[in-house]
Amino acid sequence: MKYVLLLVPCVLCLCAPFYNTIEPRLGGFPFFYWSLLLLVPVSALFILAAYKGEAR
Amino acid sequence: MIENLNWPATVVFVFFFAVVTVMGFMASRWKSGPLDVLHEWGLGGRRFGAWITWFLLGGDLYTAYTVIAVPALIYAIGAYGFFAVPYTILIYPLLFVAFPRLWAVAHRHEYITAGDFILGRYGDRWLALAVCATGIVATMPYIALQLVGMERVIQALGFQGEGIFSHLPLTIAFVILALYTYSSGLRAPAMIAFVKDTMIYIFVIAAVVYIPTQLGGYGAIFDAAGAALDKKAAASGGKIAAGLILKPAQVMPFITLAIGSAMALFLYPHSMTGILAASSGNAIRRNAIALPAYSLVLGLIALMGYMAHAAGIQVANPQDAVPQLFLKMFPSWFAGFTFAAIAIGALVPAAVMSIGAANTFTRNFWKPFVDPNLAPAKEAGLAKLVSLIVKLGALLILFVMPTQFAIDLQLLGGVWMIQIFPALIFGLYTRWFTGPALLVGWAVGTLLGTWLSWGATNWTPASNFFGWLSFNSYNGLTSVIVNIAVAAILSPILRGSAVDQTTEADYQDRRVPA
């Protein structure tokens, strides 16, 4: 059950209808691109959290 | 042949190639062990800690073909090609949760391939053979595509050849690769991966920082690419779905392709080899945290397809977009550096793929079916020989078949590879499934996936499942769901008398939680 948190980035990255827009832009990047690129390090943080939680 | 050669770029290219060649041969003495034993030659003696594994897996999974094909897809049709990012987000939670278990059981029972685990777990050598055959068939075209990636950059250097000479540089490079893989085994790509990954990071950072300053910033790049893609879609009369964001009909194929590709990736023999060569389950866990750095790089490389539009690059073959972009935006010597990074990027996965295929051929076909009394030293000798044959086969695929055929085969390879997911991944957690039932499920899934992909004029990766679905879904995912259902229903009926070598404790690689 402690791995349920890992589902969060997985579900988010599959919500394509939600992030399939141009606006809001960030630094010229359409939302579609910057949200997915941002989700990559965020997903790594979730895995890090699971790793820390497991070690405890 | 070399009249139009870009000399500064070629000199830099040849220099880096020479460096990794020397490293490849010297690697046999690195972390040295008796290389005449299969797990030493083919798995580096399981001595690779978290750092080496990070470089090796990064160099192994993010292949040269990926570096060429993903931006090519973005250049050609836009947003849809960005499926690579959700795909690579999905793989690491899976790596983190499931693969330390596989590593632990493989370590205890000295399994070196997926097929070894399947044989130990289900006691069914036919199921192990199915896993082995799937892996080899899916890997061969993948190696051939690494060569395609390499050839694109060699051509961008200005090399032109007629007839048999057209593949000359590639053949030389590949023979060298085959020789040092033969002598050093997995240690060679592990060592070269350091150079490859460092070079890739350098060229990607240079590109994403420098190119936008020349093209008016990212806003201008996306606008120019969006205009070019809209124009292309309009000119095709709506036949080509292209654009900066997904068309409604592309949403479900995008999602299912990401899920299916993620499920298949770690089942490939080359991924399995990289993972099982780790020195501990903990090294794998730490890599699941750190490997997404490569996914970020892949996402940025993908955007180079748009930079090519903004820079006004017009190419007939989208795979030439990125090499041409670098020739236009950077001085020759740096373009040569980039091309060397991509070419070396082909060597690492090609070496690991041939080693993975050789390991499974030796362990899961030759030993159980041809020569059960194979001595350990002979086992390693055979695997070395098979690694040579596999590379030669890939070279032949490229020589005698149209490139499109290799691309189609690789796409089908993903549809086939995913079919071993239930046997391998579910087998780590539950004893519900039995060998014969999984074998039937595998056969049904493989046939169904192939049939669904069979189009009137070309192979199609997604379909609406004979009209049962209201949208198109990736055939690999659709067919593996049927595979799982078949195996789950048949398992209570087809019990068999096979013995499971593994116990629950074998899967634990760290202290049991209190």
pLDDT at A44: 96
Neighbouring C-beta atoms of residue B122, cutoff 10 Å: 27
pLDDT at B361: 95
Whether residue B289 and residue A17 make contact (CB cut-off 8 A), yes or no, is no
Question: How large a percentage of chain B has pLDDT more than 70?
Answer: 97
Two tokens at B496? 């068999």
* Predicted confidence band of residue B33 (pLDDT cuts 50, 70, 90): confident
Sort out which chain A residues have CB atoms less than 8 A from B253's CB and list them.
Answer: none
Q: Which of B89, B90, B222 has its CB closest to that of A30?
A: B222
pLDDT at B497: 74
Tracing tokens 């053979």 back to the chain, one arrives at B129
pLDDT at B422: 96
Average pLDDT, chain B: 89
Residue A33 to chain B, least CA–CA distance (Å): 8
Q: How many cross-chain Cβ pairs, A to B, lie less than 8 Å apart?
A: 101
Q: What is d(CA B205, CA B196) in angstroms, rounded to the nearest whole number?
A: 14
What does B147-158 look like in DSSP terms, one character per residue?
A: HHHHHHHHHHTT
Using the 8-state DSSP alphabet, how is residue B420 labeled?
A: G
pLDDT per position as a tens digit, B410-445: 888 899 999 999 999 999 999 999 999 999 999 999
* Predicted confidence band of residue B355 (pLDDT cuts 50, 70, 90): very high
pLDDT at B169: 85
pLDDT per position as a tens digit, B378-387: 889 999 999 9
Closest to B124 in 3D by CA, of B459, B398, B505, B438 = B438
CA-nearest residue to A5 within chain B is B93
Chain B, 79-108: which have a CB under 8 Å from a chain A CB?
A: 79, 82, 85-86, 88-90, 92-93, 96-97
pLDDT at B514: 39
Whether residue A37 and residue B296 make contact (CB cut-off 8 A), yes or no, is yes
Q: Which of A28, A36, A50 has its CB closest to that of B85?
A: A36
Sort out which chain B residues have CB atoms less than 8 A from A10's CB and list them.
Answer: 89-90, 93
Sort out which chain A residues have CB atoms less than 8 A from B258's CB and list them.
Answer: 13-14
Closest to A43 in 3D by CA, of A16, A15, A17, A5 = A5
Q: Is the pLDDT of residue B407 over 90?
A: no
* Predicted confidence band of residue A53 (pLDDT cuts 50, 70, 90): confident
Sort out which chain B residues have CB atoms less than 8 A from A5's CB and list them.
Answer: none
Two tokens at B147? 């060569």
Whether residue A51 and residue B285 make contact (CB cut-off 8 A), yes or no, is yes
pLDDT at B511: 47
Length of chain A: 56
In a mutagenesis test of the B interface, which of A33, A34, A35, A45 is the best target, namely the one with the most B β-carbons within 10 Å? A33
Higher per-residue pLDDT: B187 or B32 = B187
Q: Are B38 and B111 in contact (CB under 8 A)?
A: no
Q: Is the pLDDT of residue B60 over 90?
A: no
pLDDT at B204: 92
Cis peptide before A24 (omega within 30 of 0): yes
Q: Is the pLDDT of residue B154 over 50?
A: yes
Query: Which distant-in-sequence residues (6+ apart) come within 8 Å of B12 by Cβ?
Result: B333, B336, B337, B340
Mean pLDDT to the nearest integer, B342-359: 92
CA-nearest residue to B81 within chain A is A33
* Predicted confidence band of residue B475 (pLDDT cuts 50, 70, 90): very high
C-alpha neighbours within 13 Å on the C-beta side of residue B457 = 0
Whether residue A14 and residue B255 make contact (CB cut-off 8 A), yes or no, is yes
pLDDT per position as a tens digit, B178-207: 888 998 889 999 989 999 999 999 989 999
pLDDT at A56: 62
Q: What is d(CA A15, CA A35) in angstroms, rounded to the nearest whole number?
A: 11
Mean pLDDT to the nearest integer, B361-371: 92
pLDDT per position as a tens digit, B61-113: 888 888 888 999 999 999 999 999 999 999 999 999 999 999 999 999 999 99
Helices (H), B236-268: 251-265
Mean pLDDT to the nearest integer, B202-223: 93
Q: What phi and psi values does residue B454 have, to the nearest 5 degrees?
A: -75, 105
Q: Are B218 and B370 in contact (CB under 8 A)?
A: no
Whether residue B93 and residue A37 make contact (CB cut-off 8 A), yes or no, is no
Closest to B300 in 3D by CA, of B215, B201, B228, B223 = B201
Please state the ipTM of this predicted complex.
0.95
Give the range with max mean pLDDT: B33-37, B235-239, B250-254, B456-460: B250-254
Q: What is d(CA B105, CA B398) in angstroms, rounded to the nearest whole number?
A: 38
Two tokens at B43? 């798995």
Mean pLDDT to the nearest integer, B251-278: 94
